Amino acid sequence: MKKITSFWASALILAALTGCKKADADTVITVGATPEPHAAILNLVAEDLAKDGYTLKVIEFTDYVTPNEAVESGEIDANYFQHLPYMDSFNKEKGYHLVSFAGIHIEPLAVYSKRYSDIASLPNGATVAIPNDPTNEGRALLLLQSAGLIELEDKASLTAVPSDITKNAKNLKFREIEAATLPRVLADVDAAVINGNYALPAGLNASKDGLFVEGADSPYVNVLCTKDGKQDSAKLKALAAAVQSQKVKDYIAETYGNGEVVAVF
């Protein structure tokens, strides 16, 4: 009788522990994000999610690769740092299964310089630093084309690289550099094309400091991303609703009043 009682007690404890783990998995939302504005926006809604019974854990990353690897492997539930073209490119390159479950904002790409005050002042032979990841490099070159500095092959698009340049009237030289390090090399080059989430922490304001800025109609929407199959879970639906709220829209408008970040919902 004692052995039977002991058996059922152990079974009940195991069931309770398993239930706790399942409850934790259902109520804890772990999201990877780059610091600004992504992590800042997520932390803004942590209390709102807590009221709905969810615990939000934000893990900050400073690169564009690790947070996608962590989502694909299941280490984290979601991430918030990238635009759709980058996510699609990553899936194609790595064979991953990443999907967007909410579009949040755009961060206009801009050309910055410590040496020149306008785009026309860039001299012949100027060195321009650009992101070296596939979609952002193409995006940077398309921006320089829009500024009238270069021309690209007709077929060149998001995957454009310097070898796709067909006209370079100022004989610009390009340094292909990891996006996160671009603000640090700005003083060493004539100009650099920098993503908003790296420009902001470096004190760069696209509207005030940018020599040429991407338009607000940009297709590069920053999204909440997860692994395919998880996007319909209750906790990720709750996360999407919290981030796509008037509170976040007001925060973006007040914090980034010069258009450095623009809400799209």
Cα of first residue to Cα of last residue in the chain, in angstroms, is: 63
Query: Which string of b and e fits 193-226 if b means at least 16 CB within 10 Å?
Result: bbbbbbbbeeebbbeebbbbbbeeebebbbbbbb
pLDDT in tens, 203-224: 998 888 999 998 766 778 999 9
* Mean pLDDT value of segment 32-36: 95
Would you place residue 23 in the very low, low, confident or very high pLDDT band (cuts 50, 70, 90)? low
Structure tokens at 186: 């700005």
Q: Are strands 173-177 and 222-227 parallel, antiparallel or unpaired?
A: unpaired
Residue predicted with more confidence, 122 or 220: 122
**Average pLDDT of the chain to the nearest whole number:** 90
Residues with Cβ within 8 Å of residue 138, at least 6 apart in sequence: 156, 157, 158, 159, 160, 161
Q: Residue range 237-262: average pLDDT?
A: 94
Please determine, for residue 21, whether its predicted confidence score (pLDDT) is greater than 50. Answer: no
Chain segment 57-79, per-residue pLDDT in tens: 999 999 999 999 999 999 999 99
What's the average model confidence in pLDDT over 181-196?
96
pLDDT score at 2: 38
Is 0.85 topped by the overall pTM?
no
Per-residue pLDDT at 43: 98
Q: Which residues contact 117 (CB under 8 A, 6 or more apart)?
A: 211
Residue 17 pLDDT level (bands cut at 50, 70, 90): very low
Higher pLDDT, 87 or 11: 87
